[in-house]
Each structure stands twice: as structure tokens, then as C-alpha cells.
């Protein structure tokens, strides 16, 4: 009976470590919302809520254990409108951040300042929706042009040049 228990224990440990070794690497990154005033009703999200972070009182935020992929970082705020940022997490680890409005790469940690503050809530909502649609369309167009340029093959992350 003891031998059977020991064999089962060793098998379970081996199976668990095999599962851990096949898990994709994840990356963490941080940033700061640079603003005067309260961030009480503010949330920083990736791709509409796949990941989210609450900014601290000093404006800093952290995303932990983000899986490889491409995300759109947005700031949900009832008082201000913020720029959006394209976040790329390569399978090998690391993070690339690119401003969506001018396609410039951003240094880490990310620092964001509001584009407009104290707007009428209805106008703010319309502007945020329009900005989100424009940035998504811009990246779709860039991806199509890249595919055409590379003959249908995707660019490697190390060749990324906005």
C-alpha cells in the first residue's frame, strides 16, 4: 500500500511539473498616469478588459503576468480622455509599447498624460469611442500593408519598426 501511494505521489509531481514547463512565459509591465487630481473613477485595461489595473493615488499601475499577444491599452476615466497604446508581448518575454496616434515606440515604464480634461460626459464618451475605432482601423491597415510587403508572412517582433 505504501509503495502504491509513493508511486502515485511521484507520478502526480511529474505531471504537475510537466504542465508547468509547457506554460507560455508571461510578462509584467508598469506605467504611470500623470495627472493632477483624483483617479478615483479610473481604470486601466488591456483589450477591453482582458487584463485590468487600478491606478494608485500617485497614478502608477502594474499589469502582472500578461500572456504573449497584442493588446490595446486604454484608460477608462469619467473626467478625462487618454491616448491609447498598442502593447505587444512577444512569446519570448518582454514588452513593446507603441502610441496609437503617432505610431512611436514608448519607453517603459509607460507614462501617459490626458489629452483632454473636464469635458461634458456625453462628448467625452463620443470622443473615446471614435478614438478607439480610429486606432483599431489604423492598426488593421498597418497589418494589411505589412502582410502585402512581406508576401503574407508576419513580421517578427525583433524586426518591428513602427
Q: What CATH number corresponds to the domain at position 40?
A: 2.60.40.1120
161 in a structural domain? no
Q: How far is it, in rounded angstroms, from Cα 51 to Cα 42?
A: 14
Q: How confident is the model at residue 130 (pLDDT cuts 50, 70, 90)?
A: confident
42 in a structural domain? yes
Query: What is the domain extent for residue 106?
Result: 24-148
78 in a structural domain? yes
Q: How confident is the model at residue 7 (pLDDT cuts 50, 70, 90)?
A: very low
| Overall pTM surpassing 0.95 (yes/no) | no
Region 41-50: mean pLDDT is 93
Residue 160: is its pLDDT beyond 60? no
160 in a structural domain? no
Domain count, the chain: 1
2 in a structural domain? no
- Residues 6 or more apart from 121 whose CB is under 8 A from it? 78
35 in a structural domain? yes
Region 113-136: mean pLDDT is 73
Q: How confident is the model at residue 14 (pLDDT cuts 50, 70, 90)?
A: very low
126 in a structural domain? yes
116 in a structural domain? yes
Residue 115: is its pLDDT beyond 70? yes
Of 18 and 133, the structure prediction assigns the larger pLDDT to: 133
Amino acid at each position: 500500500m505504501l509503495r502504491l501511494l509513493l508511486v502515485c505521489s511521484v507520478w502526480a509531481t511529474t505531471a504537475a511539473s510537466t504542465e508547468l514547463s509547457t506554460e507560455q512565459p508571461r510578462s509584467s509591465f508598469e506605467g504611470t498616469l500623470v495627472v493632477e487630481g483624483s483617479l478615483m473613477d479610473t481604470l486601466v485595461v488591456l483589450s477591453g478588459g482582458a487584463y485590468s489595473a487600478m491606478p494608485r493615488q500617485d497614478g502608477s499601475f502594474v499589469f502582472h503576468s500578461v500572456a504573449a499577444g497584442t493588446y490595446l491599452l486604454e484608460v477608462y476615466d469619467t473626467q478625462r480622455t487618454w491616448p491609447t497604446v498598442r502593447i505587444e508581448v512577444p512569446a519570448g518575454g518582454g514588452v513593446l509599447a507603441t502610441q496609437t496616434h503617432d505610431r512611436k515606440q514608448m519607453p517603459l515604464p509607460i507614462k501617459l498624460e490626458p489629452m483632454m480634461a473636464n469635458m461634458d460626459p456625453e462628448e467625452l464618451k463620443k470622443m473615446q469611442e471614435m478614438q478607439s475605432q480610429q486606432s483599431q482601423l489604423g492598426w488593421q491597415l498597418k497589418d494589411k500593408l505589412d502582410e502585402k510587403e512581406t508576401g503574407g508572412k508576419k513580421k517578427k517582433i525583433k524586426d518591428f519598426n513602427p
